[in-house]
Amino acid sequence: MTKREKITIWSLIGLYTFIVGGFSMLRHYQFQTQTWDMGVFIQMIWNTTQGRIFFTRIADAPNHLGVHFTPILFLVVAGYYLFQSPYFLLLIQALALALGALPLYLLSKKILENKKTALVVTISYLLYPSLHWVNVYDFHAIPFLIPLLLGGFYFIEIKKWGTAIIFLILATLVKEDAILVVMITGLYLLIRPKAETPHSGWTRERKIGTGVAITALIYFLIVIKIIMPALGGGLLRFDRYADLGGSLPEIVKNIATNPKLLFETIIIPQKIRYLALIFIPVAFLPFLAPRALILLVPGLAENLLTSYSFQFSNFYQYDAVLIAGMFIATVMGLKTIQNRWPKKEKLAVIVLSIGTLGAFFTNSPINPVTVPKELFKQNADWQTLREIINNIPDNASLTAPTTVVPHVSHRDYIYMINKEPFKTDIVLIDAADSFGFENSEAFQKYVDDYAANEEYTVEVIDDRYIQFTKKSFSETKQ
């Protein structure tokens, strides 16, 4: 890259990290993050720094690796030893996603041979609403797949196979479904159009692609069949696909033998809307590169075959599985236009820009039109809550509302209200937050039960917050 290119790309990376990372940290400061998943990751990473490897009390299994296989987080833990703060997690997540712009720009420039078009693609990536939702909705491991896969593809494109393999190996450490994305990447190298693979036949690229696909498949089976069950978990989210079957083999069988079931599962208004939300920002360009669409198969299958509405809402972390593939396919779609209709390239770039900006101003959580203004204001209730949290001893077992848990997870025993397996030392309740209860009556009964429990003293703060403290715990502090 020229000096001017470096300044431009690194400025964009810095700007994204500052704006989106800053907004993510502001959300946390203003109690917008939740037990799932911010609290889970904070406690799990903090526990690891204390010698309790990936242990958590607020997930579906005691060891998080049994719920989601995310060994890439060992690298995060190394940094957390030095900066033990939730804000560190949110900052490195934003930085990682911003850094995806660098390999994407280099990949786009290499394939399209046009710096301006490559820059437009890169800006489109940084303004992509799905990327922003992935970034601002708490902290997760899966976002790290995006820069790693983009980096892997760039090094594949310039034939630096050793470096490419390192990136792909790191990608498989992100999460169990990321392994499938890497497997599909290997398959893509087998079917790339001849125009993209100069030499026909059994090329080195195809050999490597075969090796990547087979190795990733074997690794995936080892992870889900041996490692995760040994850690007390497994593929625990199959209940979200119960309409198609009770197991992976059954789901595959039902889809193959009953195409109508597949059609009825996917072709519903909410999922059509979802497809529009993810493809409009890239002007549907991936459809001009049909073979590259295979890169989207794992993410689309994961999000379209489920009945769990959050996965096809476009508002959470679930799109992280397909974002890298979406932009690789977008680049390939632009390459198709260059090859077949070279005079239309400028028009395609304009349409891409319009799609990107339109989507940003209508669907991004950080667009200046709809960004929640209250996050930027002082809130007396939140300030009171911070003072309460600061006075809770670190050695206290604690039950708290979902928005408080991420702020108090540096402790051995932390639970969300109505999920505690035993009566903790302190129970903090927000009278305005009944999340986790079926209805207001159930919430009120929960509060009344603690109020009637003679083991606890009760303190009402600012007519909103209720703190129950075990008398025995208060005595030990004296």
Rounded CA-CA distance 53/273 in Å is 41
Give SS3 for 459: strand
pLDDT in tens, 321-340: 999 999 999 999 999 999 99
Q: What is the pLDDT of residue 193?
A: 66
Q: Is the same domain home to 384 and 359?
A: no
Structural domain count, the chain: 2
Q: Which residues pair with 470 in a beta bridge?
A: 456
Q: What is the pLDDT of residue 250?
A: 87
Q: Is the same domain home to 330 and 402?
A: no
Query: Mean pLDDT, to the nearest integer, of 308-317?
Result: 94
Locate 225 and state its tokens: 């069949």
Rounded CA-CA distance 271/399 in Å is 37
Name the phi and psi angles at 424, rounded to 5: -80, 170
Q: What is the pLDDT of residue 353?
A: 98
Pairing of strands 414-416, 426-430: unpaired
In a domain, 253, yes or no: no
pLDDT in tens, 23-54: 999 999 999 999 999 999 999 999 999 999 99
Q: Is the same domain home to 119 and 195?
A: yes
pLDDT in tens, 43-91: 999 999 999 999 999 988 889 999 999 999 999 999 999 999 999 999 9
Helices vs strands, H then E, count in the chain: 23, 5
Output 374 or 270, whichever has higher pLDDT. 270
C-alpha count within 13 angstroms, C-beta hemisphere, residue 97: 36
Q: Which residues pair with 55 in a beta bridge?
A: 63
Output 261 or 325, whichever has higher pLDDT. 325
Pairing of strands 456-461, 465-470: antiparallel
Rounded CA-CA distance 221/248 in Å is 12
Q: Is the same domain home to 308 and 431?
A: no
Q: Which segment of 198-202, 256-260, 373-377 scores lowest on mean pLDDT?
A: 198-202
In a domain, 68, yes or no: yes
Q: Is 111:332 a contact under the CB 8 Å cutoff?
A: yes
Rounded CA-CA distance 77/47 in Å is 10
Q: What is the pLDDT of residue 478?
A: 55
* Number of CB atoms found within 10 A of residue 441's CB: 10
pTM of this structure: 0.95
pLDDT in tens, 98-135: 999 999 999 999 999 999 999 999 999 999 999 999 99
Q: Which residues pair with 456 in a beta bridge?
A: 470
Q: Is 141:68 a contact under the CB 8 Å cutoff?
A: yes
Q: Is the same domain home to 349 and 411?
A: no
In a domain, 157, yes or no: yes
C-alpha pair distances (Å), 286 with each of 132, 404, 469: 20, 41, 57
In a domain, 412, yes or no: yes
Where a domain ends, among 333, 363, 393?
Answer: 363
Q: Is the same domain home to 452 and 332?
A: no
Rounded CA-CA distance 24/91 in Å is 8
* pLDDT tops 80 at residue 476: no
Rounded CA-CA distance 378/26 in Å is 12
Rounded CA-CA distance 43/409 in Å is 5
Region of 372 on the Ramachandran plot (φ > 0 left; ψ -120 to 50 alpha; else beta): beta
Q: What is the pLDDT of residue 242?
A: 86
Where a domain ends, among 301, 328, 363?
Answer: 363
In a domain, 172, yes or no: yes
Q: Is the same domain home to 207 and 73?
A: yes
Q: Is the same domain home to 396 and 333?
A: no
Burial of 117 (0-12, 13-18, 19+ CB in 10 A): buried
In a domain, 261, yes or no: no
- Report the chain's mean pLDDT, rounded to a whole number: 94
Rounded CA-CA distance 86/78 in Å is 14
Q: What is the pLDDT of residue 203?
A: 85
Q: Is the same domain home to 138 and 228?
A: yes
Where a domain ends, among 363, 392, 408?
Answer: 363
* pLDDT tops 80 at residue 175: yes
Give SS3 for 316: coil
* pLDDT tops 80 at residue 474: no
Q: What is the pLDDT of residue 81?
A: 95
Rounded CA-CA distance 181/299 in Å is 8
Domain residues for the domain of 420 are 380-477
Locate 90 and state its tokens: 């949110």
pLDDT in tens, 189-238: 998 865 444 556 778 899 999 999 999 999 999 999 999 999 988 887 78
In order, the DSSP letters of 144-164 are GHHHHHHHHHHHHHTT-HHHH
Q: Is the same domain home to 317 and 442?
A: no
- Comparing C-alpha atoms, which of 205, 231, 315, 182 is closest to residue 55? 231
In a domain, 369, yes or no: no
In a domain, 225, yes or no: yes
Q: Is the same domain home to 284 and 200?
A: yes
Host H or E run for residue 194: none
Output 23 or 472, whichever has higher pLDDT. 23
Host H or E run for residue 61: none
Q: Is the same domain home to 163 and 223?
A: yes
- Residue 451 — very low, low, confident or very high, per pLDDT cuts 50/70/90? very high
Percent of the chain with pLDDT over 90: 86
